[in-house]
Structure 1
Amino acid sequence: MPIPTPGAPLPHPPGSDAPLPDALTGHWVDTRAPRRLRPYLKLARIERPIGWQLLLLPCWWAAGLAAIADGQPFPDPWHCLLFLIGAVVMRGAGCTFNDIIDRKLDAQVARTRGRPLPSGQITTKAAAVFMVALSLVGFVVLLQFNAFTIAAGIASLAIVAVYPFMKRITQMPQFVLGLAFSWGGLLGWSAVFGSLSAPAYLIYAAAIVWTVGYDTIYAMQDIEDDVIAGIKSSARYFGEHGREAIAACFALAVVLAGLAAWSAGGGPVAFAGVAAFAGHLGWQVSKLKGASAQVALSLFRSNWHAGLLLAAGFALDALARSLTSI
């Protein structure tokens, strides 16, 4: 299939009800949402929930560590709900901004050329208005926290703003993505204490290298198209050593998560969560050799379960410690 002129709509643009290649099969956005809304829902990646799930997990990890350190029986439910809402809307806003910047590049990549902007389903102006609306919702969510957390949340926007340009100038845009996607590791802690300390920094670092690892798996789907379009990625940079590099990232993530648990005063249940997290990441690496694009996508998505194992370990450790102190 010939590559369309960058920025031009597809010769036969898919309808707004056509599922994108990496969307969940049979998702309600593609089957039941009003057709006029589908391009906007796809712009926000609603039918691809793994993005907001991965954005949310460092928030929940840090909330669990904060509960352990503060002697609480469980992470603050209100905070966890706010993080959930914030992850969904801010992931949508970030993806919309990314798609506005990358609309010409996306037209050159098979997996992305059917997205609402490069396929002509939505105008750039409409996408910008949608992004602002989502950002306002996210700002209202952020205002529910203490002043330190509000300031820290606003500071993250600098990283979000530069990320879309990184694939043009650096071989490791995944690292910059990690800086942005892992920010919740700081906010989940500061929301409780109004400041940052060692466990927050350690879980933030763990989330960064974890992000580099799982997003390298994701980038494996696009290597051939990325070469044609001139898009840089860690998958291209690591080349034939990609599996080893991902294994190293995952191993470092486990070590840092363990240090975060230790510095927060975590007990056996927390470390059982770290071990379960490590086991899942090891399983992913074992499946990478010779993996097809579809397998790479499946492994990438499985990081939601890997991260939940760690979040559950931290939350259950807080509960176990509170029960033993009664």
Structure 2
Amino acid sequence: MKTQQLGRATPLSWRGLWRLCRLDKPVGILLLLWPTLWALIDASQGNVWSWPALALMLGVVLMRSAGCVINDYADRHWDGDVERTKSRPLVTGEVSPQQALILFITLCVCAFVLVLSLNQLTIALSVVAAGLATIYPFTKRITQLPQMVLGLAFSWAIPMAYAAVLGTVPIQAWWLFAANLCWTVAYDTQYAMVDRDDDVKVGIKSTAILFGQFDRLAIAILQLLFLICLIVFAWITLAEPVLLFGLLLAAGMFVRQAKMIRQRERQQCFAAFRANNWVGFVVAAAMAASVYWSQL
């Protein structure tokens, strides 16, 4: 059942705006930054301090925040009926819907201004990125696969990174894209498992509901596809063996996550979701080490 009334909005709450952008919970930003960094490491051969790379990473942070804002705006009538989200700023009235829309537009404009300093291909790709970030929250009412749309949105920074640095999008970018798409759907399914009971009640769709009793198997398959895509990426790019070692570590982390979600307990599913931050870090570190050793 929808929440009948949102709380009364205060004139302006900076703390509420901060929380609305999820800046108090940076794991989501990191999960978007890691694949961007993977692409930048490969495209720039380790030179991630160039302006195109820095502009793209800052833009990713801004668009992640914008995505959170529009997500909460779209869910504002339902979040009050979900245990995990009932204290969000738009539900409590700490931030008004109008303030949220103004913040969303402001963040998108700031991100677009950054992109304007890059080449035309990157600018064109950024339009798709903005569209994916905007429509994702509304797909939860339409399709059982909103995690797929989120995966596309979270992966689109990869071709943008190659375009910003190289002016083109080579074949390995799309293998990296596919890997991240599988990974995102896997960890966001873990995330959706936390809210599954509440989502069924309020009519929100998710892969956790779609997969049902096969949710853990589906996550394992997606994680395996993630590793396979990265192995192909390593073969195409002639990566050093250290990258494969990093993927072996990531596989071990996935095994641990499988144990964590075995009983489908909310706290453990959420912990498994958060643990993916370390998967992203390990892959980034292995890619950086591979590039470094290839240059010796």
Normalized against structure 2, the TM-score is what?
0.93
Q: Deviations over 1:13-49 (max 9, x none)?
A: 8x99xxxxxxxxxxxxxxxxxx931100011001111
Task: Give the whole-Å Cα distance in 2 for the aligned partners of 1:163 and 1:41.
Answer: 21
Task: Give the whole-Å Cα distance in 2 for the aligned partners of 1:179 and 1:261.
Answer: 22
Q: How do residues 246-325 of structure 1 correspond to structure 2 at under 5 angstroms?
A: 246-323=219-296
**What residue in structure 2 maps to residue 38 of structure 1?**
15
**What residue in structure 2 maps to residue 30 of structure 1?**
none
Q: Match of 2:48, as an amino acid?
A: D
Task: Give the whole-Å Cα distance in 1 for the aligned partners of 2:22 and 2:166.
Answer: 32
Structure 2 residue 183 is the aligned partner of structure 1 residue 186: no
Shift of 1:282: 2.4
**What residue in structure 1 maps to residue 36 of structure 2?**
59
Task: Give the whole-Å Cα distance in 2 for the aligned partners of 1:61 and 1:267.
Answer: 15
Q: Match of 1:144, as an amino acid?
A: S
Tell me, what secondary structure is at the counterpart of 2:81?
Answer: coil
Q: Match of 1:44, as an amino acid?
A: C
Equivalent of residue 8 in structure 1, options 5, 8, 22: 5
State whether residues 13 and 95 of structure 2, in contact with CA within 8 Å, keep that contact through their aligned partners in structure 1: no
**What residue in structure 1 maps to residue 179 of structure 2?**
206
Q: Deviations over 1:219-258 (max 9, x none)?
A: 1111111111011111111111111110000000010011
Q: How do residues 121-132 of structure 1 correspond to structure 2 at under 5 angstroms?
A: 121-132=94-105
Q: Match of 1:237, as an amino acid?
A: L
Q: Deviations over 1:142-198 (max 9, x none)?
A: 223222112112222222222112111111110110000111221222222111121
**What residue in structure 1 maps to residue 210 of structure 2?**
237
Tell me, what secondary structure is at the counterpart of 2:93?
Answer: coil
Q: Any gaps of 5 or more consecutive residues in structure 1?
A: 17-34
**What residue in structure 1 maps to residue 26 of structure 2?**
49
Residue identity (%): 37
| Aligned Cα root-mean-square deviation (Å) | 1.9
State whether residues 53 and 164 of structure 2, in contact with CA within 8 Å, keep that contact through their aligned partners in structure 1: no
State whether residues 6 and 92 of structure 2, in contact with CA within 8 Å, keep that contact through their aligned partners in structure 1: yes
State whether residues 217 and 235 of structure 1, in contact with CA within 8 Å, keep that contact through their aligned partners in structure 2: yes
Shift of 1:94: 1.1
Equivalent of residue 170 in structure 1, options 117, 127, 143: 143
Structure 2 residue 114 is the aligned partner of structure 1 residue 141: yes
Task: Tell me how many residue pairs correspond in the alignment.
Answer: 294
Shift of 1:89: 1.3
**What residue in structure 2 maps to residue 77 of structure 1?**
49
Tell me, what secondary structure is at the counterpart of 1:100?
Answer: helix
State whether residues 75 and 315 of structure 1, in contact with CA within 8 Å, keep that contact through their aligned partners in structure 2: no
Q: How do residues 221-232 of structure 1 correspond to structure 2 at under 5 angstroms?
A: 221-232=194-205
**What residue in structure 1 maps to residue 59 of structure 2?**
86
Task: Give the whole-Å Cα distance in 1 for the aligned partners of 2:172 and 2:201.
Answer: 42
Normalized against structure 1, the TM-score is what?
0.85
State whether residues 65 and 261 of structure 1, in contact with CA within 8 Å, keep that contact through their aligned partners in structure 2: no
Q: Match of 2:5, as an amino acid?
A: A
Q: Match of 2:203, as an amino acid?
A: G
Shift of 1:7: 4.7
Change (3 A) 1:7 1:102: farther
Q: Match of 1:81, as an amino acid?
A: L
**What residue in structure 2 maps to residue 111 of structure 1?**
84
Task: Give the whole-Å Cα distance in 2 for the aligned partners of 1:143 and 1:315.
Answer: 28
Q: Any gaps of 5 or more consecutive residues in structure 2?
A: none
Task: Give the whole-Å Cα distance in 1 for the aligned partners of 2:118 and 2:249.
Answer: 31
Q: Which has the higher helix share?
A: 2
State whether residues 13 and 94 of structure 2, in contact with CA within 8 Å, keep that contact through their aligned partners in structure 1: no
